Amino acid sequence: MSEKKPGRSVTLLTLLLLLAMVVAACAGDGSTDETTAPDETAAPDDTSAPDGELTPFTFALTNQRVPQYYSYYLAEELGFYEEEGLDVEIVIVSGSSAAVQQVIAGNVDAGHPSGPATAQAVSQGNCLNQFYTYSYQNFAGMAAAAESGITGPPDLEGQTIGVSEPAGGEVPLVRAIMASVGLADGVDYQIVGIGEGGALTIEAIQNGDVQAYSSSVFDIATVGAAGVELVQIMPEEYLYFPTVSMVATCDYFEENQDVLARFARAVTKGTVWKEGNPDAALEIVRELEPELFEDEALGLAFWETTQELNAFPPGMEDAIYGTHNRNGWELYLDFASQGTEEEGALNSDAVDLDVLLVDDILEAANDFDQDALRQAAADYSG
């Protein structure tokens, strides 16, 4: 990053725990550090910032990629956190499992893990509340070279599918997708590791060593930015599995709904402001992470991919910001619970969506003049 760092204070935590260790660590009591609890005198739907000093609030993001989390960074740059009476510290952790661990340990007030990491922690007995949904499309993508003529998984019979690595998180999803069309790994198709969107990945696709590629949607965007024309072949039923969202422990949520509502409202303001002036929002993002935009095509690919991830699923276009996609969650839990525990299947019976997905602060998070903010953004001159 350049000398200008996004956010008031970004703390980089180096967490080298393996997933199994994280899951074990997640089996605590879910308590939080009460010494950082904010003032709770305002009602959850109070849209005014409290008088006096700003309320400290720490929030864990899973990486420092500004285009992916633009709403959080715009809220900082445009003063929306302060407007809501918050002194926000963004903490960067090493992925979703680490974000869940930090939330449960009480080292941060809330975090931004993926749905699968949240579900895994809940299945281990932790009480978590997802109080605001940020992204809707699955972070794992599946694409094929346009010139291959492949339009869907059935076309991959007898072919080779590239993944980030053999143990990559997308591999179980690939196997499930292929099994849904009657094709078995190692029998009807092959899986090989070709990297995370770099030169090795591009070479394997261009040379025809693989006929499809599944990895992070940002890895796929990197390949596209390099000039390889790709077509999306992810079946729609897998497209809206739960992705990153705001999560807190149940105890913290119950005791601090006002501060969470103000934080979510500031982030919503960042989203609405971008809608009012996408070009200006992109320029701010570009200034915060100039290294990414040294390759203009790559930076724009990441920006456009994020817009796709954050778009409401079909049937939810009129929902308010932060609304949960319960249908996507139900589909994911059904998928993740297939097989045995030894094979890594999730104990979905332990994940009660009525507890996990809470709507209590969503109205408050949207309670501001959104049209006026869009107009203010449109009038923004830098």
Give yes or no: residues 145 and 131 share one domain. Answer: no
Give yes or no: residues 223 and 248 share one domain. Answer: no
**How many Å apart are CA 46 and CA 341, to the nearest integer?**
45
Report the 10 Å Cβ neighbour count for 191. 20
Task: State the pLDDT at residue 267.
Answer: 98
- What is the CA angle 234-302-152, rounded to 5? 15
Give yes or no: residues 33 and 19 share one domain. Answer: yes
Q: Which residues of the chain have pLDDT under 50?
A: 1-49
Burial of 118 (0-12, 13-18, 19+ CB in 10 A): buried
What SS3 state is found at 69?
A: coil
Burial of 240 (0-12, 13-18, 19+ CB in 10 A): buried
Q: Does residue 3 sit within a domain?
A: no
Give yes or no: residues 156 and 295 share one domain. Answer: no
Domain, as residue range, for 68: 10-137+241-378
Give yes or no: residues 133 and 221 share one domain. Answer: no
Find the CATH number of the domain harbouring 152.
3.40.190.10
What SS3 state is found at 335?
A: helix
Task: State the pLDDT at residue 185.
Answer: 93
Q: Does residue 187 sit within a domain?
A: yes
**How many Å apart are CA 302 and CA 33, to the nearest integer?**
36
Give yes or no: residues 21 and 126 share one domain. Answer: yes
Give yes or no: residues 100 and 151 share one domain. Answer: no
**How many Å apart are CA 42 and CA 47, to the nearest integer?**
9
Task: State the pLDDT at residue 341.
Answer: 67
- Of 319, 308, 316, 314, whose CA–CA distance to 268 is shortest? 319
How many Cα atoms are found within 13 Å in the side-chain-facing hemisphere of 41? Answer: 7
Give the chain's mean pLDDT. 86
| Three-class secondary structure assignment of 148-210 | HCCCCHHHHCCCEEEECCCCCCCHHHHHHHHHCCCCCECCCEEEEECCCCCHHHHHHHHCCCC
Token pair 């090795």 in the structure block, residue: 200
Give yes or no: residues 218 and 111 share one domain. Answer: no
Q: Does residue 199 sit within a domain?
A: yes
Structural contact between residues 70 and 280, judged by C-beta atoms closer than 8 angstroms: no
Give yes or no: residues 345 and 359 share one domain. Answer: yes
Q: Does residue 42 sit within a domain?
A: yes
Q: Does residue 1 sit within a domain?
A: no
Task: State the pLDDT at residue 11.
Answer: 38
Tell me which of 184, 216, 239 is where a domain ends: 239
Q: Does residue 56 sit within a domain?
A: yes
Number of helices followed by number of strands (H, E) in the chain = 17, 11
- Of 4, 6, 14, whose CA–CA distance to 89 is shortest? 6
Burial of 51 (0-12, 13-18, 19+ CB in 10 A): exposed
**How many Å apart are CA 124 and CA 153, to the nearest integer?**
34
Structural contact between residues 128 and 356, judged by C-beta atoms closer than 8 angstroms: yes
Give yes or no: residues 307 and 365 share one domain. Answer: yes
Structural contact between residues 324 and 264, judged by C-beta atoms closer than 8 angstroms: no
Q: Does residue 77 sit within a domain?
A: yes
Structural contact between residues 225 and 195, judged by C-beta atoms closer than 8 angstroms: no
The residue type at 379: D
Structural contact between residues 316 and 142, judged by C-beta atoms closer than 8 angstroms: no
Who contacts 172 (Cβ-Cβ below 8 Å, separation ≥6)? Answer: 344
State the total domains in the chain: 2
pTM of the shown model: 0.82
Q: Does residue 54 sit within a domain?
A: yes
Give yes or no: residues 100 and 31 share one domain. Answer: yes
The residue type at 180: S
Give yes or no: residues 108 and 127 share one domain. Answer: yes
Tell me which of 239, 274, 290 is where a domain ends: 239
Tell me which of 218, 239, 260 is where a domain ends: 239
